[in-house]
Copies of this chain bind each other. A is one copy, B any other.
Amino acid sequence: MKLVCAQSDLSTNLSLVSRAVPSRPTHPVLANVLLTADEETQQVQLTGFDLSVGIRTSFAARVEEGGEITLPAKILNDIVSRMPEGDIQLEERAVDAESEAPETSIIATLTSTSGSYTVRGMEAADFPALPVIEDSEAKAIYLPAEALIEGLRGCLFASSPDETKQVLTGVHLTLDRDGIEFAATDGHRLAVVETVTNASEDEEEEYEDASEAEELEVTVPARALRELERMIGMRQSPEPVALHLDGGQIVFELGTQRLTSRKLEGMYPNYRMLIPNQFLSEINLERRRLLSALERIAVIADQKNHIVKCTVDRDNQEIYLSVEAQDVGSGREALPADISGDEPKEIAFNVRYLMDILKTMTCAEVTVKLNDMTSPVILTPLSGQKQTFLVMPVQLRA
């Protein structure tokens, strides 16, 4: 292999695929990136893969001799990112058979204007193959980038970080003609975001084809979707993201970039059932003001059990937040609110759950809907995005 490419291209693409390289690889070759140079297309392809999430990207280069090699992701990335701007030559070097054992004889040389580095690699054949979409007949579904960003930003925080929680470690996507619904829950709180997919004229035809199928549902690991969110955020292009589903795999394509992930198998909870239809009270509050008050309350609450108590004073149109941590201290905040319906009893929450939701929202005013002190509470923006957040109250000892 022999090629010349721009330092900025190699560096940007290396840091992108390195996100899928595991920090503690189960097999040595997984600490590497797969580098494939194609003489015909004059393209270099990079792949990082931790057996669950894979990122593949390609960029133009002057490929003098094609080939495949795997190289240590971290060291390669660290060197290339520190190289001066300009051309980098990358060449696979034959190693003197006398001085080196043949099984370790894969070495790449990187040369920039300032200096030259060699890095020891491994056989490309040892690198596990990225899942391919076997059913090539299946059409891609095109998703608008803005809808994906909106849905992921509003949902990802609510998925469970606990690997034993299976489907709850993912975000559940429901696609139909009208749009995509995103949902995530860890059992204590739930986030649902409905987005409208306004396919542009150009994609209209393809999009129509895809959505002629029935409603499509899939649960994707949050870890993969966090990378997707980053990848969309970094792109300049407003192009839609192509989604391929096949067997246990899901593939997102963003121009020359591709993210693959296993799907999460298993029944996703029927979360719609959890959201009450009727409420006894409805409270409108300034979101930022409520968040600031909770941040102060959390200083004390985090010393103990994270519990904040809320009481509602309809006559004064105020809500009160309070916290009590023995041996530490206590706190109380009063906030103006627009309260309608019944005056509910004292209700308690994990302060962190409320803060996560309010930080995710971008609206100026938030509507809180509630029934009694043991029923789920719903937060929605007073206007704007179609977000629904549910949080379970904490039961206080009598």
State the A residues within 8 Å of B (CB): 72, 75, 78-79, 82-84, 104, 107, 114-120, 292-293, 295-296, 299-300, 303, 321, 327-335
Alpha-carbon gap, A15 to B107, bound state (A): 52
**Chain A to chain B: the 4 pairs with minimum beta-carbon distance, closest first:** A115-B333, A119-B329, A117-B331, A78-B299
Pull 19 A–B residue pairs with CB atoms less than 8 Å apart, ordered by A.
A75-B328, A79-B296, A82-B296, A82-B299, A84-B292, A107-B329, A114-B292, A114-B296, A114-B333, A115-B321, A115-B331, A115-B332, A116-B331, A116-B332, A117-B329, A117-B331, A119-B328, A120-B327, A120-B329
B119 touches A75 (CB 8 A): no
Q: Which residues of B contact A114 (CB under 8 A)?
A: 292-293, 296, 333-335
Closest to A295 in B: B82
Q: Which residues of B contact A117 (CB under 8 A)?
A: 296, 300, 329-332
Closest to A78 in B: B299
Cβ distance A29 to chain B, nearest Cβ, rounded Å: 15
Q: Which residues of B contact A84 (CB under 8 A)?
A: 292
Alpha-carbon gap, A72 to B299, bound state (A): 12
Alpha-carbon gap, A303 to B334, bound state (A): 56
Q: Which residues of B contact A75 (CB under 8 A)?
A: 299-300, 303, 328-329
Cβ distance A34 to chain B, nearest Cβ, rounded Å: 18
Cβ distance A78 to chain B, nearest Cβ, rounded Å: 4
Closest to A328 in B: B120
Q: Which residues of B contact A334 (CB under 8 A)?
A: 114-115
